[in-house]
Structures are given as structure tokens and as C-alpha cells.
Amino acid sequence: MLPVREKIPHVVVRILFTKTGDLQYISHLDLHRAFTRMLVRAGVPLWYSEGYSPHPRLAFATPLSVGAESEYELVDVNIVGDAETLNPAALFALLRDTHIPGLTVKDLYLPTRPFSAITHADYTLRFRTAGADAALAAHCAEALASSPLVVLKRTKKGERDVDISSQIRSVRAAFENGEVVIRARLAADSANFLNPEYLVKILRGAGLVMCGNPIEEEYSILRTAVYSGDTLFR
């Protein structure tokens, strides 16, 4: 009879970090690997799952498409220890000095709410596009505020037309430094998540942005915050 493995106490810590620069082009799986390597290199006492293939337990919050950057990413990490003796400040100090370009740890703390409490996320979309001016920005805001707002969306049951107007909580547009800038708060819960790329598709389909020379035009997407209701989620 095999000996019973002693249970190792563990606790979940939440890490707030950025994902910018070249990291915007890596997949979720590659991000998981990079983050794990960073934690190991920093000397964080990771807790490993039991069974035939032990592995560290990391859980990331709302998904982010390849090609999008973020100033507000969250991951829950299981580490060895307990809540009574854990020193978040000491762990944060370990990670602060372990740097991956584009990945900066901004905070580390004990979570009080699950990721399932997330309802919305803020995004900033910047378009360097032909004819960019204040009038074009106003037209973009008007287009995104209209209803219904039907897009072809891929679901588990295949592609179908979906009205996403109810998933856009707020949208503002401005002309800044030669660019049309869209700031939007979108649904981000697991059952109702709206990818900000759909806003790009709507504006492009309406002939408002990204319709000129593809070599000269470009756009970027940056997530700036995550919310539970009207409260910043932590």
C-alpha cells in the first residue's frame, strides 16, 4: 500500500500586473508559462497540485485577445503557506525585482472576491486612420451608441448574428494627437463577455476607420481597468 501523502497547506494570492509591448502577441498558454517561470525565478513558494502530473495552480481573470495590451491583468496563484503567516509585502518585493519586458507586477494581496464577480472592463482604442478629426470621432461615438448593433459572432454553436448593444455600457470618443480615441466600458462577465475587437469591426464595417492604406493605418487596444458593478475589482 502506498504511503498517504501529507497535505501541504496553501493559500491563494492575487497579483495585479501589466501585459504590454511584445507580450501582447503571446497566447494565453505562453503567458501562463512565462508567469510560472517568473514566479519560480523569484523564489515564490508555489503550491503544486497532487496526482501523477503535479503542476502549479494559476488562474487568470477575463481573457485578452492576442494583439491587445493591458494595464490591469489579474491572476490568482496558489502558494505554500497560510493566510495567518503570509507576508504579501515580502512576496511583492520578490516579484518587483524579477522583470520580464512588458510584464510589471503592480500589486499582490489576498483576494476577497472571486473572478466570477467581474462584470465590466474599460478599454481605450486608438485609431490612426485616414480623415481622423473631431467630426470622425463624433461619428464613431454615434455608431457605437446605436441600437440594435448586430455583428456576426462566433459561439459554441457556430456563427450567428448577435445584437451587442446591451453589452456596451458606455462609450466616449475624442480626437487626440492625430488619432480617433474610443473609451468604452464593455461587458466582461464569463457568460456575457464582449471582445473589444467587435467595436473595430463595427466601425470598419460602417466605413469610418481603417478603410484607407493598410500600411499607413493602424489601431491599438488597451485594457485599463476591470469592475464589479461600479466598483473597481481587486
Give me the CATH number covering residue 39. Answer: 3.30.70.580
Look at 35 and 3; give whichever has higher pLDDT.
Answer: 35
Question: And the C-alpha cell for 119?
Answer: 462584470
How many domains does one find in the chain? 2
Range of the domain at 74: 10-112
Is 1 contained in some domain?
no
Is 2 contained in some domain?
no
* CB-based contacts of 102, cutoff 8 Å, min separation 6: 18, 19, 20, 21, 22, 23, 24
Phi and psi, residue 135, nearest 5°: -65, -40
> Which pLDDT does position 158 carry in this prediction?
79
| Among candidate residues 112, 142, 161, the one where a domain is terminated | 112
| Among candidate residues 76, 92, 112, the one where a domain is terminated | 112
Average pLDDT over residues 216-230: 94
Query: What's the whole-model pTM score?
Result: 0.90
Does one domain contain both 78 and 103?
Answer: yes
- DSSP type of residue 21: G
Does one domain contain both 127 and 227?
Answer: yes
> Which pLDDT does position 4 carry in this prediction?
44
In the block, cell 491572476 appears at: 75
* Ordered DSSP codes for 125-171: EEEE-TT-SHHHHHHHHHHHT-SS-EEEEEETTEEEEEE-GGGEEEE
Question: And the C-alpha cell for 80?
Answer: 505554500
Does one domain contain both 96 and 126?
Answer: no
Mean pLDDT of the chain: 90
Average pLDDT over residues 100-116: 92
> Which pLDDT does position 2 carry in this prediction?
43
pLDDT at 141 over 70: yes
| Among candidate residues 112, 128, 147, the one where a domain is terminated | 112
Question: And the C-alpha cell for 148?
Answer: 440594435
pLDDT at 213 over 80: no
Rounded to 10 degrees, the C-alpha dihedral 124/130/133/138 comes to -60
Rounded Cα–Cα distance for residues 34 and 15 (Å): 14
Q: Residue 211 class from Cβ within 10 Å (0-12 exposed, 13-18 middle, 19+ buried)? A: middle
